[in-house]
């Protein structure tokens, strides 16, 4: 591993990682957030060589960022990190309009790859790194070349299962080293999104818009607005204000932890129909080892119905277990069975790809084929199901104007509000009121009208924060199954899990942890909180932290563990609980004192005896 100017490099080979390390960021302010930037390669970080060609250069991007005032605030870094500011995390300047200042670490791959050289091996490597550092950062940005950006975003969207944090891919048409480049805005806006918003999807940030990754395709080789999402609205637009379209966000609706599915099937292919295509061409695509085909048909899913030879060959391959997924060659629109030439594919067992992009269809097929626990019929069913927002669900959604009218009526106000004001003010307020009233039916009605459970109110608190604070266990479970985010932080830096821990709602803590929630508290700060609980002899609070995943051996700034403090203050029940949870009796603080020393100095013979008894029992158990 090489470390230069704050750039942490990970050396990779085609068979996997040789070493891996990232320095995490301990946040000391509720106005900060942490982002891991994974630099895989691409134009955005390339330099011009002596021959005038763009080439990747190791550690060049990190050195350049430190000289860019719009990407790194030197003065804040000096104040924040002191003498280590030259090798510390990068700091995004205060944008005034973002709630949190973003601190970010750059993880640079070696070798850096042009996006045309990306393979499924690189997708798996990126997914595994997100998994490794998932609990250590608030969000993730992936710097990537543009040519296969849509493929990578689509693949990652399926591989990152039950995703609860923002993963933003971006690149640029011109290098960041160029004076006139789109790289600055794309990178900066990606960092702001990843550090300030919980958008639990794999997205692409490009050309002042944020798109769902698996809905996006590259439309232009030269323009700065190179990407578009033909069949889905942008998730956010960047103007003077960042306007997030919360109604369009796709969220996990299961109570399960984040996980990575790190297998992809490479035996898939794209077959684009064209007039006078030969039987031999089709046959070449249907032969082993190919297990899945994305068939790009005409218009709304049509094929030449008079080519019986081709249809019979496809049907025979399907009968033998091959999966054929039908998508349109058109940029916009969906396949359907409206025409006889389209219905014939359905009749022979071809699976409908609805309005998926070719990139999404191919990577989804690659993902589904590795689900060994599914039968072939189940795999075909899942291909037609909306897994990550990659295809349009046919059920109608109320328009924003209808939602505004309903909200205005519900609030008994006749307000002339623009849609974004209504969504940002009225929906969160009404959802919060419904939570306090423990009224899931009213929440359901608001959701059907366009409300979003993860949209915060003016204090940045979501309905889930409120339910966790109030101890409404059944309502918490209901909202988690509706896609409520467990990672959103309020203005006091509290997640819903913090609220549940603070109020000792153990069943709710278990629910949140099962849904992927985790404590994001710096170790020493966590140690302080644990010691404060031990000072009070508050076993219930210690149990809350334990259920939430805290290490009860964590020490505070003075090296004291909760067991030190419990022994000092003579809290027998608390000490017994900590000992029962495996807390170390030999842990030493900064003065070299153990919990027994604390009990002895406090003159508590009973606590010393307690420790000696526990120590004796431990030795007997070991023997």
Q: What's the CA gap between 544 and 505, in Å, rounded?
A: 8
Last residue of a domain, one of 341, 358, 383: 383
State whether 111 and 204 are in the same domain. yes
Q: With beta carbons less than 8 A apart as the criterion, state whether 78 and 85 touch.
A: yes
Last residue of a domain, one of 260, 278, 300: 260
Closest CA relative to residue 495, chosen from 478, 509, 479? 509
Range of the domain at 448: 400-514
Q: What one-character DSSP code corresponds to residue 350?
A: P
Q: Between the CA atoms of 259, 157, 521 and 565, what dihedral angle is there, to the nearest 10 degrees?
A: -10
Last residue of a domain, one of 198, 233, 260: 260
State whether 352 and 497 are in the same domain. no
State whether 121 and 226 are in the same domain. yes
pLDDT at 20: 47
Closest CA relative to residue 101, chosen from 77, 127, 65? 77
Cβ neighbors of 544 (< 8 A, separation 6 or more) are 500, 501, 504, 506, 509
pLDDT at 417: 56
Q: What's the CA gap between 507 and 55, in Å, rounded?
A: 54
Q: What's the CA gap between 288 and 190, in Å, rounded?
A: 41
State whether 407 and 428 are in the same domain. yes
State whether 256 and 290 are in the same domain. no
For 541, phi then psi, to 5°, come to: -65, -40
pLDDT along the chain (623 residues), means of 10: 44 42 74 94 90 84 94 93 88 84 95 90 97 96 97 98 97 94 96 95 97 97 94 95 90 91 96 95 95 95 90 95 96 82 85 96 98 96 96 60 51 55 78 95 89 88 96 97 94 94 98 95 93 97 97 96 93 93 92 91 75 54 33
Residue 351 lies inside a defined structural domain of this protein: yes
State whether 191 and 296 are in the same domain. no
Q: What's the CA gap between 524 and 27, in Å, rounded?
A: 11
State whether 419 and 496 are in the same domain. yes
- List the catalytic residue out of 7, 43, 148, 594: 43
pLDDT at 416: 54
H helices, E strands: number in the chain: 24, 22
State whether 100 and 119 are in the same domain. yes
Cβ neighbors of 385 (< 8 A, separation 6 or more) are none
608-611 CB contacts, 8 Å cutoff, 24+ apart:
610/572, 610/575, 610/576, 611/567, 611/575, 611/579, 611/585
State whether 233 and 280 are in the same domain. no
CATH number of the domain within which 472 lies: 1.25.40.20
Residue 389 lies inside a defined structural domain of this protein: no
Residue 494 lies inside a defined structural domain of this protein: yes
Residue 487 lies inside a defined structural domain of this protein: yes
Residue 312 lies inside a defined structural domain of this protein: yes
Q: How far apart are the two ends of the chain, measured CA to CA in Å?
A: 43
Q: What's the CA gap between 225 and 172, in Å, rounded?
A: 10
pLDDT at 99: 80
Q: What's the CA gap between 217 and 604, in Å, rounded?
A: 70
Closest CA relative to residue 311, chosen from 349, 271, 270, 364? 349
Q: Which residues pair with 302 in a beta bridge?
A: 298
Residue 577 lies inside a defined structural domain of this protein: yes
Q: With beta carbons less than 8 A apart as the criterion, state whether 262 and 127 touch.
A: yes
CATH number of the domain within which 362 lies: 3.40.50.40
Closest CA relative to residue 583, chosen from 620, 550, 609, 536? 550
State whether 97 and 221 are in the same domain. yes
DSSP characters over 92-144 = ----SSSSSEEEEEEEEEES---GGG--HHHHHHHHHHHHHTTTT-SEEEEE-
State whether 82 and 216 are in the same domain. yes
CATH number of the domain within which 68 lies: 3.40.50.1170
Residue with tokens 């007039």: 275
Closest CA relative to residue 314, chosen from 336, 335, 340, 294? 294
Which conformational region is residue 195 in: left (phi greater than 0), alpha (psi within -120 to 50 degrees), or beta?
Answer: alpha
Q: With beta carbons less than 8 A apart as the criterion, state whether 191 and 238 touch.
A: no
Instruction: Establish whether 43 is a catalytic residue.
Output: yes
Q: Between the CA atoms of 398, 399, 401 and 404, what dihedral angle is there, to the nearest 10 degrees?
A: 40
Cβ atoms within 10 Å of 185's Cβ, excluding its own: 18
Cβ atoms within 10 Å of 373's Cβ, excluding its own: 5
Give the orientation angle of helix 149-159 with respect to helix 120-132, to 10 degrees. Answer: 50
Q: What's the CA gap between 122 and 128, in Å, rounded?
A: 10
Element (H, E) at 243: strand 242-244
Q: Is 212 exposed, middle or buried (0-12, 13-18, 19+ CB in 10 A)?
A: buried
CA–CA distances in Å: residue 246 to residues 58, 64, 415, 617 = 38, 35, 21, 57
Residue 388 lies inside a defined structural domain of this protein: no
Count of domains for the chain: 4
pLDDT at 423: 65
601: which 2 tokens?
A: 């100095």
State whether 503 and 537 are in the same domain. no
pLDDT at 399: 46
Residue 26 lies inside a defined structural domain of this protein: no
261: which 2 tokens?
A: 């599915």
């Amino acid at each position: 591993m090489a470390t230069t100017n704050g750039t942490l490099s990970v050396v990779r080979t085609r068979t996997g990682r040789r070493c891996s390390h990232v320095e995490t960021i301990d946040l000391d302010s509720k106005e900060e957030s942490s982002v891991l930037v994974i630099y895989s390669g691409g134009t955005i970080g390339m330099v011009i060589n002596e021959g005038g060609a763009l080439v990747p250069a190791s550690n060049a991007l990190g050195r350049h960022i430190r000289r860019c005032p719009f990407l790194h605030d030197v003065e804040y870094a000096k104040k924040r990190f002191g003498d280590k500011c030259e090798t510390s995390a990068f700091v995004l300047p205060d944008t005034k309009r973002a709630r949190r200042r973003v601190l970010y670490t750059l993880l640079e791959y070696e070798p850096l790859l042009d996006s045309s050289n990306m393979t499924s091996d690189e997708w798996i490597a990126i997914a595994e790194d997100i998994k490794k550092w998932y609990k250590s950062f608030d969000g993730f940005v992936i710097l990537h070349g543009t040519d296969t950006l849509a493929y990578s975003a689509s693949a990652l969207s399926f591989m990152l299962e039950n995703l609860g944090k923002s993963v933003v891919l971006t690149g640029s048409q011109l290098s960041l080293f160029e004076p006139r480049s789109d790289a600055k805005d794309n990178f900066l806006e990606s960092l702001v999104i990843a550090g300030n918003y919980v958008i639990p999807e794999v997205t692409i940030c490009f050309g002042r818009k944020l798109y769902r990754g698996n809905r996006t395709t590259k439309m232009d080789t030269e323009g700065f607005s190179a990407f578009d999402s033909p069949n889905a609205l942008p998730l956010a637009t960047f103007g003077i204000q960042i306007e997030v379209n919360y109604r369009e966000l796709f969220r996990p609706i299961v109570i399960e932890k984040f996980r990575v599915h790190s297998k992809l099937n490479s035996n898939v292919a794209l077959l684009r129909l064209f007039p006078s295509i030969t039987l031999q061409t089709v046959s070449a695509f249907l032969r082993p080892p190919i297990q899945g085909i994305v068939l790009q048909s005409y218009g709304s899913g049509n094929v030449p119905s008079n080519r019986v030879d081709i249809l019979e060959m496809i049907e025979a391959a399907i009968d033998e277990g091959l999966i054929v997924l039908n998508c349109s060659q058109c940029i916009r629109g969906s396949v359907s069975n409206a025409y006889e030439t389209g219905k014939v594919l359905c009749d022979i067992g071809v699976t409908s790809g609805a309005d998926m992009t070719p990139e999404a269809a191919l990577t989804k097929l690659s993902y589904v084929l590795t689900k060994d626990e599914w039968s072939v019929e189940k795999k075909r069913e899942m291909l037609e199901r909306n897994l990550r927002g990659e295809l349009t669900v046919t059920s109608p959604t109320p328009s924003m104007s209808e939602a505004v009218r309903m909200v205005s009526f519900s609030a008994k106000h006749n307000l002339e509000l623009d849609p974004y004001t209504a969504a940002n003010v009225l929906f969160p307020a009404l959802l919060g009121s419904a939570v306090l009233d423990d009224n899931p039916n009213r929440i359901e009605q608001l959701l059907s009208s366009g409300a979003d459970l993860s949209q915060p109110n003016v204090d940045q608190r979501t309905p889930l924060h409120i339910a966790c604070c109030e101890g409404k266990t059944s309502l918490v479970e209901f909202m988690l199954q509706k896609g409520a985010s467990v990672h959103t932080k309020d203005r006091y830096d509290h997640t819903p899990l913090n609220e549940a821990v603070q109020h000792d709602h153990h069943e709710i803590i278990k629910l949140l942890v099962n849904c992927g929630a985790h404590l994001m508290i710096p170790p020493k700060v966590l140690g302080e909180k644990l010691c404060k609980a031990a000072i009070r002899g508050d076993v219930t609070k210690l149990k809350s932290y334990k259920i939430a995943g805290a290490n009860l051996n964590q020490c505070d700034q003075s090296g004291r563990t909760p067991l030190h403090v419990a022994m000092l203050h003579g809290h027998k029940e608390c000490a017994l609980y900590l000992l029962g949870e495996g807390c170390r009796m030999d842990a030493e603080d900064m003065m070299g004192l153990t919990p027994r020393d604390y009990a002895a100095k406090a003159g508590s013979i009973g606590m010393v005896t307690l420790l000696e008894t526990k120590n004796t029992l431990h030795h007997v158990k070991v023997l």
